[in-house]
Amino acid sequence: MIQKYLNPLKMTLTVITGILIPIQLYMSFLYAPTEKFMGHIQRIMYFHVPSAFVAFAAFGIVFVAGIMYLYTKNKKWDHLALSSAEIGVVFTTFVLISGSLWARPVWNAWWVWDDPRLVTSLILWFMYIAYLMIRTSVKGDERLRKFAAIFGIIGFIDVPLVYFSVKWWRTIHPKVIDEQGVHMPPEMAQTLFFSVIAFFFLFVTILFYRFTLETQKEKITKWKNNSLLERKE
Protein backbone atom coordinates (compact mmCIF):
# COMPACT_ATOMS: atom_id res chain seq x y z
CA MET A 1 0.00 0.00 0.00
CA ILE A 2 2.80 2.41 0.97
CA GLN A 3 4.68 1.63 -2.25
CA LYS A 4 1.57 2.67 -4.17
CA TYR A 5 2.02 6.25 -2.92
CA LEU A 6 5.83 6.30 -2.80
CA ASN A 7 6.34 5.70 -6.53
CA PRO A 8 4.26 8.74 -7.68
CA LEU A 9 5.98 10.84 -4.99
CA LYS A 10 9.37 9.71 -6.22
CA MET A 11 8.51 10.59 -9.79
CA THR A 12 7.12 13.98 -8.72
CA LEU A 13 10.32 14.76 -6.82
CA THR A 14 12.38 13.70 -9.83
CA VAL A 15 10.46 16.03 -12.14
CA ILE A 16 10.65 18.95 -9.71
CA THR A 17 14.37 18.43 -9.22
CA GLY A 18 14.86 18.18 -12.98
CA ILE A 19 13.24 21.61 -13.31
CA LEU A 20 14.93 23.29 -10.35
CA ILE A 21 18.53 22.31 -11.06
CA PRO A 22 18.73 23.89 -14.56
CA ILE A 23 17.15 27.06 -13.15
CA GLN A 24 19.69 27.03 -10.33
CA LEU A 25 22.53 26.73 -12.84
CA TYR A 26 21.13 29.62 -14.86
CA MET A 27 20.81 31.82 -11.79
CA SER A 28 24.27 30.88 -10.52
CA PHE A 29 26.13 31.61 -13.75
CA LEU A 30 23.98 34.21 -15.54
CA TYR A 31 21.39 35.85 -13.28
CA ALA A 32 23.58 36.61 -10.26
CA PRO A 33 25.98 39.55 -10.82
CA THR A 34 29.73 39.08 -10.75
CA GLU A 35 31.22 39.96 -7.36
CA LYS A 36 33.30 43.16 -7.50
CA PHE A 37 36.45 41.93 -5.73
CA MET A 38 36.47 38.12 -6.07
CA GLY A 39 35.08 37.92 -9.59
CA HIS A 40 33.58 34.70 -10.93
CA ILE A 41 35.21 32.55 -8.23
CA GLN A 42 32.53 33.85 -5.86
CA ARG A 43 29.93 31.83 -7.78
CA ILE A 44 31.25 28.72 -6.02
CA MET A 45 29.21 29.95 -3.05
CA TYR A 46 25.97 28.98 -4.83
CA PHE A 47 27.11 25.35 -4.73
CA HIS A 48 29.28 25.34 -1.61
CA VAL A 49 26.70 26.72 0.85
CA PRO A 50 23.74 24.57 -0.35
CA SER A 51 25.95 21.47 -0.25
CA ALA A 52 26.81 22.25 3.38
CA PHE A 53 23.12 22.57 4.29
CA VAL A 54 22.37 19.28 2.51
CA ALA A 55 25.18 17.56 4.41
CA PHE A 56 23.77 18.86 7.71
CA ALA A 57 20.29 17.62 6.77
CA ALA A 58 21.67 14.23 5.72
CA PHE A 59 23.54 13.72 8.99
CA GLY A 60 20.47 14.95 10.86
CA ILE A 61 18.52 12.10 9.27
CA VAL A 62 21.29 9.67 10.29
CA PHE A 63 20.88 10.96 13.84
CA VAL A 64 17.09 10.53 13.91
CA ALA A 65 17.12 7.21 12.03
CA GLY A 66 19.78 5.87 14.41
CA ILE A 67 17.61 6.70 17.43
CA MET A 68 14.56 5.15 15.78
CA TYR A 69 16.48 1.98 14.92
CA LEU A 70 17.69 1.57 18.50
CA TYR A 71 14.12 2.08 19.71
CA THR A 72 12.22 -0.05 17.18
CA LYS A 73 14.88 -2.47 15.81
CA ASN A 74 13.23 -1.91 12.43
CA LYS A 75 15.84 -2.37 9.70
CA LYS A 76 14.19 0.25 7.50
CA TRP A 77 15.48 2.92 9.88
CA ASP A 78 18.92 1.37 9.55
CA HIS A 79 18.64 1.47 5.74
CA LEU A 80 17.57 5.10 5.89
CA ALA A 81 20.54 5.99 8.11
CA LEU A 82 23.01 4.28 5.77
CA SER A 83 21.48 5.86 2.65
CA SER A 84 21.51 9.34 4.16
CA ALA A 85 25.06 8.98 5.50
CA GLU A 86 26.40 8.07 2.06
CA ILE A 87 24.77 11.14 0.51
CA GLY A 88 25.99 13.32 3.37
CA VAL A 89 29.57 12.18 2.86
CA VAL A 90 29.35 12.94 -0.87
CA PHE A 91 28.09 16.47 -0.26
CA THR A 92 30.60 17.07 2.54
CA THR A 93 33.36 16.02 0.15
CA PHE A 94 32.08 18.57 -2.34
CA VAL A 95 31.97 21.21 0.40
CA LEU A 96 35.64 20.61 1.25
CA ILE A 97 36.74 20.57 -2.40
CA SER A 98 34.72 23.63 -3.43
CA GLY A 99 35.89 25.51 -0.35
CA SER A 100 39.51 24.80 -1.21
CA LEU A 101 38.97 25.90 -4.81
CA TRP A 102 37.53 29.19 -3.52
CA ALA A 103 40.22 29.67 -0.87
CA ARG A 104 43.23 29.31 -3.19
CA PRO A 105 42.71 32.58 -5.14
CA VAL A 106 41.04 34.45 -2.26
CA TRP A 107 43.18 33.41 0.74
CA ASN A 108 46.22 32.41 -1.32
CA ALA A 109 46.06 29.00 0.37
CA TRP A 110 44.21 25.76 -0.32
CA TRP A 111 43.66 25.15 3.38
CA VAL A 112 44.01 27.06 6.67
CA TRP A 113 44.51 24.76 9.64
CA ASP A 114 43.80 27.36 12.32
CA ASP A 115 40.29 28.10 10.98
CA PRO A 116 37.70 26.39 13.23
CA ARG A 117 35.07 25.90 10.52
CA LEU A 118 37.49 24.18 8.17
CA VAL A 119 38.85 21.89 10.87
CA THR A 120 35.44 20.95 12.30
CA SER A 121 34.16 20.28 8.75
CA LEU A 122 37.09 17.96 8.08
CA ILE A 123 36.46 16.17 11.37
CA LEU A 124 32.80 15.74 10.37
CA TRP A 125 33.89 14.19 7.07
CA PHE A 126 36.26 11.78 8.82
CA MET A 127 33.63 10.77 11.37
CA TYR A 128 31.07 9.74 8.76
CA ILE A 129 33.72 8.07 6.60
CA ALA A 130 34.42 6.00 9.72
CA TYR A 131 30.67 5.40 10.06
CA LEU A 132 30.51 4.01 6.51
CA MET A 133 33.56 1.83 7.19
CA ILE A 134 31.77 0.42 10.23
CA ARG A 135 28.73 -0.24 8.07
CA THR A 136 30.77 -2.34 5.63
CA SER A 137 31.52 -4.74 8.49
CA VAL A 138 27.90 -5.02 9.68
CA LYS A 139 26.88 -7.93 7.41
CA GLY A 140 23.59 -8.55 9.18
CA ASP A 141 25.01 -8.54 12.72
CA GLU A 142 22.53 -6.71 14.94
CA ARG A 143 25.19 -5.78 17.51
CA LEU A 144 27.23 -4.01 14.85
CA ARG A 145 24.11 -2.31 13.53
CA LYS A 146 23.52 -0.95 17.03
CA PHE A 147 27.12 0.19 17.26
CA ALA A 148 26.85 1.93 13.88
CA ALA A 149 23.62 3.64 14.98
CA ILE A 150 25.26 4.89 18.19
CA PHE A 151 28.31 6.09 16.26
CA GLY A 152 26.09 7.95 13.79
CA ILE A 153 24.22 9.61 16.66
CA ILE A 154 27.45 10.70 18.38
CA GLY A 155 28.92 11.93 15.09
CA PHE A 156 26.06 14.41 14.72
CA ILE A 157 27.44 16.36 17.68
CA ASP A 158 29.99 17.87 15.30
CA VAL A 159 27.27 19.39 13.07
CA PRO A 160 26.37 22.26 15.45
CA LEU A 161 30.10 22.75 16.06
CA VAL A 162 30.60 23.29 12.34
CA TYR A 163 27.61 25.61 12.04
CA PHE A 164 28.33 27.79 15.08
CA SER A 165 32.13 27.75 14.74
CA VAL A 166 32.12 31.15 13.02
CA LYS A 167 30.20 32.59 15.99
CA TRP A 168 32.01 30.88 18.84
CA TRP A 169 35.62 31.26 17.68
CA ARG A 170 37.76 33.67 15.70
CA THR A 171 37.71 32.68 12.05
CA ILE A 172 38.51 34.08 8.64
CA HIS A 173 35.65 32.14 7.08
CA PRO A 174 33.20 34.61 5.45
CA LYS A 175 29.79 35.17 7.07
CA VAL A 176 27.24 35.71 4.32
CA ILE A 177 24.30 35.23 6.71
CA ASP A 178 24.17 36.28 10.38
CA GLU A 179 21.87 37.95 12.92
CA GLN A 180 21.97 41.22 10.94
CA GLY A 181 20.68 39.54 7.79
CA VAL A 182 22.16 38.68 4.39
CA HIS A 183 25.27 40.61 3.38
CA MET A 184 24.95 40.58 -0.40
CA PRO A 185 22.98 42.21 -3.24
CA PRO A 186 19.36 41.02 -3.71
CA GLU A 187 20.16 39.05 -6.89
CA MET A 188 22.91 37.13 -5.10
CA ALA A 189 20.69 36.47 -2.08
CA GLN A 190 17.86 35.22 -4.31
CA THR A 191 20.25 32.92 -6.15
CA LEU A 192 21.68 31.57 -2.90
CA PHE A 193 18.29 30.83 -1.35
CA PHE A 194 17.00 29.27 -4.57
CA SER A 195 20.15 27.12 -4.71
CA VAL A 196 19.50 25.87 -1.17
CA ILE A 197 15.95 24.88 -2.16
CA ALA A 198 17.08 23.21 -5.39
CA PHE A 199 19.81 21.25 -3.63
CA PHE A 200 17.38 20.20 -0.93
CA PHE A 201 15.04 18.72 -3.55
CA LEU A 202 18.05 17.05 -5.16
CA PHE A 203 19.00 15.52 -1.82
CA VAL A 204 15.50 14.22 -1.07
CA THR A 205 15.21 12.73 -4.56
CA ILE A 206 18.56 10.95 -4.32
CA LEU A 207 17.67 9.74 -0.83
CA PHE A 208 14.43 8.21 -2.10
CA TYR A 209 16.27 6.26 -4.80
CA ARG A 210 19.12 5.21 -2.50
CA PHE A 211 16.72 4.08 0.23
CA THR A 212 14.69 2.11 -2.31
CA LEU A 213 17.88 0.41 -3.52
CA GLU A 214 18.83 -0.53 0.04
CA THR A 215 15.40 -2.00 0.81
CA GLN A 216 15.49 -3.98 -2.45
CA LYS A 217 18.92 -5.35 -1.50
CA GLU A 218 17.44 -6.50 1.81
CA LYS A 219 14.57 -8.27 0.02
CA ILE A 220 17.01 -10.02 -2.34
CA THR A 221 19.17 -11.13 0.60
CA LYS A 222 16.10 -12.56 2.37
CA TRP A 223 15.03 -14.33 -0.81
CA LYS A 224 18.49 -15.89 -1.23
CA ASN A 225 18.58 -17.00 2.40
CA ASN A 226 15.11 -18.56 2.14
CA SER A 227 16.10 -20.34 -1.08
CA LEU A 228 19.18 -21.81 0.60
CA LEU A 229 17.09 -23.02 3.53
CA GLU A 230 14.59 -24.66 1.19
CA ARG A 231 17.40 -26.47 -0.66
CA LYS A 232 18.86 -27.76 2.61
CA GLU A 233 15.46 -29.08 3.65
- What are the tens digits of pLDDT across the range 13-27? 999 999 999 999 999
Count of residues in the chain = 233
Q: Do 197 and 20 form a contact (C-beta atoms < 8 A)?
A: yes
Q: What angle do CA 4, 198, 163 make, to 5 degrees?
A: 110
Q: What residue ranges define each of the domains in the chain, with the CATH number in brackets?
A: 2-232 (1.20.120)
Residue 199's region, left for phi above 0, alpha for psi from -120 to 50, else beta, is alpha
Q: Is residue 8 over pLDDT 70?
A: yes
Q: According to the model, what pLDDT value does residue 28 have?
A: 94
The larger pLDDT score, comparing residue 2 to residue 6, is at 6
For residues 201-225, average pLDDT = 82
Q: According to the model, what pLDDT value does residue 140 have?
A: 59
Q: According to the model, what pLDDT value does residue 1 have?
A: 44
Say if strands 181-182 and 177-178 run parallel, antiparallel, or are unpaired: antiparallel
For residues 73-97, average pLDDT = 94
End-to-end CA distance of the chain: 33
Q: Is residue 4 over pLDDT 70?
A: no
